[in-house]
Amino acid sequence: MARWQPNAPERLSKAALELFAERGYENTTVIDIAQRAGLTKSTFFRHFQDKREVLFGGSTLAGLLAGAITAAPAGATPLEAVTHAMDAVGREAFTPERREYSALRRTVIAAHPELREREALKGLALTASMTEALKQRGVPELTACVAAELGALAMKIAHERWSDPACGDGFGETARQALDEVRAAVAT
């Protein structure tokens, strides 16, 4: 690939994930990633702080969740607003084209304690983002916290199910089912 081609962040993410799966996270360098993507080390650092951030980059998902909660219909309950956000994630982030990438990403993260820790921290940030968005809608703090935690749990379950190649459903549908199951578990 020529260096000038578009989508450098996506190319770097794909190259990193492939290398992490082939060689292991610890045995992959930033230079390896840049070379696999057909880019330079300096291009890598224009887009990512370090090799770990290739898997966790940015606050795009948190912003998407918060924006969708804010945009939920005015009369939506807190969990309905969270459901609205998970639908948006399914349309914009967890698309069918991303399923294979997501499955491989989960495998790589599961194999490395440092990455599992970073994934947990990202989950906390997503929950905090949803909580804040719900509070901005006028939801009382405790209710916002509970709805965000339940939503985060449902989203985690849904992502695990959806990233399985055997799953034929879209992320939004899978997330709605997971949220219904979480609601039923809480009710018992």
Domain coverage including residue 38: 8-54
Domain contains 3: no
Together in a domain, 98 and 163: yes
| pLDDT value of residue 10 | 86
Number of domains in the chain: 2
| pLDDT value of residue 5 | 60
Together in a domain, 45 and 100: no
| pLDDT value of residue 114 | 86
Domain contains 22: yes
Together in a domain, 37 and 50: yes
Cite the DSSP H helix spans in the chain. 8-23, 30-37, 41-47, 53-56, 60-71, 78-92, 99-110, 113-136, 141-162, 171-187
Domain of 27, CATH number, reads 1.10.10.60
Residue 101 · residue 164 · CB < 8 Å: no
Together in a domain, 103 and 131: yes
Residue 150 · residue 176 · CB < 8 Å: no
Task: Write the burial class of residue 72 (CB in 10 Å: 0-12 exposed, 13-18 middle, 19+ buried).
Answer: buried
Together in a domain, 70 and 89: yes
CA distance 99 to 51: 21
pLDDT values of the chain reduced to their tens digit, one per residue, 188 residues: 444 567 888 899 999 999 999 999 999 999 999 999 999 999 999 999 889 888 886 668 899 999 999 999 999 999 999 999 999 998 988 888 888 888 899 999 999 888 999 999 999 999 999 999 999 999 999 999 999 999 999 999 999 999 988 888 999 999 999 999 999 998 88
